[in-house]
Amino acid sequence: MANRHAISILVISLQAFANSSFNNRFLRYVNDESIDVAGLYNSRPALNATISDFRRLADKSDILHFSMHAQTDNDQPLDSFLALKGIGKDDGRLTVAEILDSKLKKGSLIFLASCDTNNVLSGEGLVSLAWGMMGAGATTVVSAQWQADDRLSRYFSTKFYAYYKRGNSTADSLRKTALDLIKDKTIETHEPYYWANFNVIGDFR
């Protein structure tokens, strides 16, 4: 009788959060981005996501993807925030301090496809957003080093997850996505400003 071996299939779950407007500033592509990346993992994105949505879903998925404005505070890094949808007295500002008080799924990957971070001078504010996610339990964080164009973020993140889902490491997925942007002359993303924006901290595997 032939031996039968049980095959263990690792199922990776993803939760995308999107919020397209903050303080009368609108991001055209963030909802489409979240729908695209969630679709790769057969999940439903949280559009017009609130802090309550984050608290309810944060510890339930292996990957959390954030598509929204972000604002950094170099003087008070713990006040840097992701801009979710405000409701009533809740202004929607998910600060680093609040992230640190949250509990993420152990070993999770966080992708901060966040815009409006061009006011970073020393880098401390953006690092603090990523650091807050690490402090809340994430193993790996992908984040932008400077202002992220939301159209490009959609393209970049969708490409990244396509590579990551095939079994590539986080670092290799970023590298291959960057190479795609360099080679694709039709969308004018071959300059380092576009393909070198996102980097990884933590576990690069």
Q: What amino acid occupies position 146?
A: W
Instruction: Please list, in sequence order, all residues whose beta carbon lies within 8 angstroms of the beta carbon of residue 163, skipping any fewer than 6 positions away.
Output: 172, 173, 176, 177
CA dihedral (147, 87, 131, 64) positive or negative: negative
Q: What is the pLDDT of residue 119?
A: 44
Mean pLDDT by 10 residues, the chain (205 residues): 49 96 91 98 98 97 96 86 94 95 96 64 59 94 87 94 97 97 86 90 90
Give the chain's domains with CATH numbers: 14-202 (3.40.50.1460)
pLDDT number for residue 74: 79
Residues 6+ apart with CB under 8 A from 77: 96, 124, 125, 127, 128
Q: What is the CA radius of gyration of the chain?
A: 17
